[in-house]
């Protein structure tokens, strides 16, 4: 089963779509083409990595373009064999004087629904506040997410450059709004900052899942605390290598988390930047990280439990995983 719980819409723009939209918008094509322009070529810092993601931002200037990008992202997920996709995005980054935050959120939700109808893939949108935005902006983002709860939006996140903007306290109001609306809560944390950042994200913001969380493994106290409190970590191994969170794929802390009793889920983060998709990330877990069939099964179960799903959707995925109940059990 392939359940993707950490993937960014801005990291799923098709290069051919970028080329077409660039011509419509009057944006010059890069000398080496858009595929190369948005691709991360080598490991570096989180700041450098995010600059490549930001290269796609000009293509989110209108609801029509956003709907198309979201629909194509779901189509690509289906082509990659996904059973469920949570797609996160930062609407305030794409809002303009003409199109507001609500317009962008609605466009993403509509595009994802269109892609889901045509492919059968279950989807949910996770609206992301950004660390470098003012608290008032992020509160507005949370209010928009709350208005769309049950209409395509399933969760709320805090993303952005943790190196430059490590503070969490300014965003407490936004997360309170999201929780009050019944949205699932995740947070990028301990990706570039120390492991204790993940604990603060849980305690201050109410996160039940931590995005990346690589440096939790560096702090034994936080590692134990996370296991004891049922915190789930969204691991994205290839992305963590490109951002410098780990020195090599062989050193990814997923086995440390597993052995500590922390339940893991999987994501591909920004596949157009890293050149990898979820199926490959599962292969990375197997080799070089030594994942077993039992580990795969535990990952599938944790993913179904952690996903921000309606009860009927969770039951559907559970049935796909385990097969239908025999007649005698119905």
State the residue for tokens 């039940």. Answer: 208
Nearest to 235 by CA among 259, 260, 253: 253
Which of 72, 86, 162, 191 is an active site residue? 191
State the residue for tokens 């469920």. Answer: 84
Q: Give the span between the Cα atoms of 258 and 91, in whole angstroms.
A: 34
**Treating both helix axes as pointing N-terminal to C-terminal, what angle do 172-180 and 135-147 enclose, rounded to 10 degrees?**
10
Q: Which residues contact 326 (CB under 8 A, 6 or more apart)?
A: none
Q: Give the span between the Cα atoms of 155 and 308, in whole angstroms.
A: 7
CA distances from 302 to 104, 201, 202, 291, 299 (A): 31, 20, 18, 15, 5
User: Nearest 5 degrees, angle CA 40-CA 122-CA 67?
Assistant: 60
- Mark out the alpha helices in the chain (DSSP H runs): 15-25, 34-38, 46-54, 63-79, 91-94, 101-119, 135-147, 172-180, 196-205, 220-228, 237-242, 254-260, 271-274, 278-286, 293-306, 311-322
Which two three-digit tokens encode residue 74?
Answer: 């779901």
Q: Give yes or no: 203 in active site.
A: no
Q: Which residues are catalytic?
A: 191
């Amino acid at each position: 089963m392939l359940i993707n719980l950490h993937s960014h819409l801005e990291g799923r723009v098709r290069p051919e779509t970028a080329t077409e939209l660039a011509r419509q918008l009057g944006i010059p094509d890069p000398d080496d083409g858009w595929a190369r322009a948005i691709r991360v070529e080598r490991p570096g810092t989180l700041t450098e990595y995010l600059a490549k993601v930001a290269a796609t931002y000009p293509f989110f200037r209108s609801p029509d373009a956003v709907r198309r990008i979201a629909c194509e992202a779901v189509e690509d997920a289906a082509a990659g064999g996904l059973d469920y996709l949570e797609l996160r995005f930062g609407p305030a980054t794409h809002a303009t004087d003409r199109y507001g935050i609500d317009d962008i959120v609605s466009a993403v939700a509509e595009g994802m629904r269109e892609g889901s109808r045509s492919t059968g893939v279950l989807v949910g949108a996770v609206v992301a506040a950004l660390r470098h935005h003012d608290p008032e902006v992020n509160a507005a983002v949370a209010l928009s997410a709350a208005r769309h709860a049950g209409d395509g939006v399933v969760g709320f996140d805090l993303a952005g450059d943790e190196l430059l903007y490590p503070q969490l306290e300014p965003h407490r109001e936004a997360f309170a709004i999201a929780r009050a609306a019944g949205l699932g809560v995740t947070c990028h944390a301990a990706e570039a900052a120390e492991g204790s950042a993940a604990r603060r994200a849980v305690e201050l913001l109410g996160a039940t899942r931590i995005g990346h969380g690589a440096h939790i493994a560096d702090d034994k106290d936080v590692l134990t605390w996370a296991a004891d409190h049922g915190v789930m970590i969204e691991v994205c191994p290839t992305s963590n290598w490109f951002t410098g969170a780990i020195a090599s794929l062989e050193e990814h802390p997923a086995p440390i988390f597993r052995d500590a009793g922390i339940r893991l889920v999987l994501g591909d983060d920004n596949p157009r930047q890293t050149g990898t998709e979820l199926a490959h990330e599962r292969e990375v877990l197997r080799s070089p990280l030594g994942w077993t069939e039992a580990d795969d099964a535990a990952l599938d179960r944790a993913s179904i439990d952690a996903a921000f799903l309606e009860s009927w959707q969770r039951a559907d995925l559970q049935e796909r995983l385990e097969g239908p109940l025999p007649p005698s059990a119905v």
